């Protein structure tokens, strides 16, 4: 039980720090390029990272409680887990929308048809509807990056596409498999963020 929470928290922290690193790079890019889309990208990844840090922190707290022998009800019953998930979902939803806006800004078809559906968020934990929504958004980002790759042939774009495709897969696994596939989904998300980290390291070495 505690090992599962430690692994889950590790994937959450790794993803959070990668997202924050991308956010930092995006703000540097904004200073150099003076392109407002970079601000949207920065904000998106910063929100994503902050939400994941909080979620990871809650998981570590529960893991420590379990390790220290404190009697706790099943994880899904704990209010902290539910609150953490709701915050993680809300931040991921907002972040993916911002990332999508940053990537699609300038596309006339997108600007003419942008509609963000209103959402009412009850307290939930690994709900199929929320995970489905996140799977859809990450899949859209992956498709957009994939289309860009077909035009630019840049391996960094391919890594972004693969990264978000793996994140979409991790959310889709939770839709179809529920919490029993949490570890597999965690690995998929970890690999997705590893792709983003790989892209970041590669890009920072351009011209050296």
Partner 1 sequence: MTAKQRYRSKMRICYDMLRVIQEEGGEAGPTRILYGANLSYERLKKYLTELKDKGLIEEVQTNGKTVYRLTDSGRMFIVQFRKMMEFARAFGMIL
Q: Using CB under 8 A, which of 157, 169, 172, 192 touches partner 1?
A: 157
Q: Using CB under 8 A, which of 10, 20, 24, 29 touches partner 1?
A: 29
Task: Count CA atoms within 13 Å of residue 105 on its CB side.
Answer: 13
Nearer to partner 1, 58 or 165 (CB): 165
Least separation, in Å, of the C-beta of 202 and partner 1? Answer: 8
154 binds partner 1 (CB under 8 A): yes
Q: Using CB under 8 A, which of 108, 113, 117, 118 touches partner 1?
A: 108
Helix axis angle, 79-104 to 128-152, nearest 10°: 30
Nearest to 190 by CA among 171, 167, 169, 206: 167
Residue matched to tokens 């979620």: 55
203 binds partner 1 (CB under 8 A): yes
Nearest to 92 by CA among 143, 144, 127, 65: 127
Q: Using CB under 8 A, which of 60, 78, 148, 194 touches partner 1?
A: 148
Q: Using CB under 8 A, which of 50, 52, 63, 103 touches partner 1?
A: 103
Residues near partner 1, by CB under 8 A: 25-26, 28-29, 32-35, 37-38, 41, 99, 102-103, 106-108, 144-145, 147-149, 151-152, 154, 156-157, 159-160, 199-200, 203-204, 206-208
């Amino acid at each position: 039980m505690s090992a599962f929470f430690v692994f889950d928290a590790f994937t959450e922290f790794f993803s959070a720090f990668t997202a924050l690193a991308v956010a930092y790079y995006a703000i540097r890019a904004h200073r150099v390029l003076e392109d407002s889309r970079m601000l949207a990208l920065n904000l998106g990844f910063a929100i994503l990272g902050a939400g994941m840090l909080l979620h990871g922190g809650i998981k570590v707290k529960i893991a420590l409680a379990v390790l220290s022998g404190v009697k706790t009800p099943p994880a899904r019953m704990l209010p902290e887990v539910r609150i953490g998930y709701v915050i993680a979902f809300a931040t991921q939803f907002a972040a993916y929308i911002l990332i999508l806006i940053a990537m699609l800004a300038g596309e006339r078809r997108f600007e003419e048809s942008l509609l963000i559906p209103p959402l009412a968020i009850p307290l939930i934990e690994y709900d199929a509807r929320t995970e489905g929504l996140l799977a859809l958004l990450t899949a859209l980002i992956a498709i957009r990056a994939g289309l860009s790759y077909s035009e630019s042939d840049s391996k960094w774009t391919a890594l972004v596409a693969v990264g978000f495709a793996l994140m979409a897969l991790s959310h889709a696994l939770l839709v179809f498999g529920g919490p029993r596939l949490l570890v597999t989904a965690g690995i998929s998300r970890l690999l997705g963020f590893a792709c983003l980290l790989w892209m970041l390291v590669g890009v920072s070495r351009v011209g050296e």
